[in-house]
Amino acid sequence: MHLILTGATGLVGSGVLDAMLRSKDITKISILSRRPVPMAAGDPRVNVITHNDFTRYNSEVLGQLQGANGVVWALGISQLKVRRGEYVTITKDFPVAAAKAFSKITPTKEPFRFIYVSGHGATLEPTSFTPIFGRVKGETEKALSELQAPTKFHVESVRPAGVDATNYEAIKPYIPNPGILYNAMYFFMGPLMRTVLQSLHSPTEKLGPFLMNVAMGTYDKPLGAGGNDISSINGSRILENVAFQRLYEQ
């Protein structure tokens, strides 16, 4: 099994990478990154492809991705850290450009699976009160769904909520400090999510393996069964945080 990963040095991506490195079923990991990925150093299965423009994929890059079975698109940024234009570029333009490029990868026996890490609060029906991140992530989910091809290219969007690495010691040396504001918020919200607001809790030690397994096709049947926490657009499925929690525990 050959999987692609973006955002490997971030909070969500680090959890996915750790899961991939631990998996005996994955024979090759292609990481698209602007900078080195220390966690992956020394594993012969890993190919870190230095990539600076996530809107373009030349033949050399695509050649290194041939034979891939899927991707976990964990590249993203908080809307509080950049201006609106840059946020749209990173959150929407990057994954849509990648999906269009990856749809041309020579298919294996199974469809290529594009797993987009969206977020709780994303919506396909924004109002004037919808924050930027909810509107843009919803637009991205819709744009990606339009690339869905039943036998060749599957798109699944997962909406994690409060991503929490508190109990994931393996990735702590590698994840970036999110900043004073985020740390202050988690000082108060972290304990609440782990107890009272568990439906909003997205522990990385579970989220990482879950995203990896969705990309591997492990959850194809339960995803096909649907549920109140799974919606669909153009054949592409959108999983709420509670869907991730439910399926992971099955």
Q: What is the CATH number of the domain that holds 29?
A: 3.40.50.720
Structure tokens at 88: 């749209």
DSSP codes, 38-54: GGGTT-TTEEEEE-S-T
**DSSP H helices in the chain:** 11-22, 59-65, 84-88, 94-102, 132-145, 180-193, 204-216, 220-225, 241-249
Short-list 171, 170, 122, 133, CA closest to 7: 171
**pLDDT one-digit tens code per residue, 65-114:** 999 999 999 999 988 889 999 999 999 999 999 999 999 887 778 999 99
Q: Is residue 190 part of a domain?
A: no
% of the chain beyond a pLDDT of 70: 95
CA-to-CA distance for 52 and 231, rounded, in angstroms? 34
Q: Which comes out higher in pLDDT, residue 200 or 116?
A: 116
Print burial letters for 68-83: b (CB count within 10 Å at least 16), e (below 16). Answer: bbbbbbbbbeebeeee
Domains contained in the chain, number: 1
**pLDDT one-digit tens code per residue, 9-56:** 999 999 999 999 999 999 999 999 999 999 999 899 999 999 999 999
Q: Is residue 113 part of a domain?
A: yes
- What confidence score (pLDDT) does residue 88 get? 97
Residue-range definition of the domain harbouring residue 25: 2-176+202-249
3-state secondary structure 87-128: HHHHHHHHHHHHHHHHCCCCCCCCCEEEEEECCCCCCCCCCC
Q: What angle do CA 29, 77, 185 make, to 5 degrees?
A: 115
Print burial letters for 13-28: b (CB count within 10 Å at least 16), e (below 16). Answer: bbbbbbbbbebeebeb
Span 57-72, mean pLDDT? Answer: 96
Residue 124 confidence class, pLDDT cut points 50, 70, 90:
very high
- What confidence score (pLDDT) does residue 140 get? 98
Q: Is residue 195 part of a domain?
A: no
Q: What is the pTM of this model?
A: 0.94
Q: Is residue 186 part of a domain?
A: no
How confident is the prediction for the chain on average, in pLDDT? 93
Q: Long-range contacts for 167-171 (Cβ within 8 Å, ≥24 apart)? A: 167/203, 167/205, 168/15, 168/18, 168/203, 168/204, 168/205, 168/208, 170/18, 171/14, 171/15, 171/17, 171/18, 171/39, 171/204, 171/208
Q: Is residue 38 part of a domain?
A: yes
Does the pLDDT at position 233 exceed 70?
A: yes
- What confidence score (pLDDT) does residue 181 get? 67
Q: Is residue 189 part of a domain?
A: no
% of the chain beyond a pLDDT of 90: 80
**pLDDT one-digit tens code per residue, 165-206:** 888 999 999 988 777 766 666 667 767 777 767 888 999 999
Q: Is residue 192 part of a domain?
A: no
Q: Is residue 51 part of a domain?
A: yes
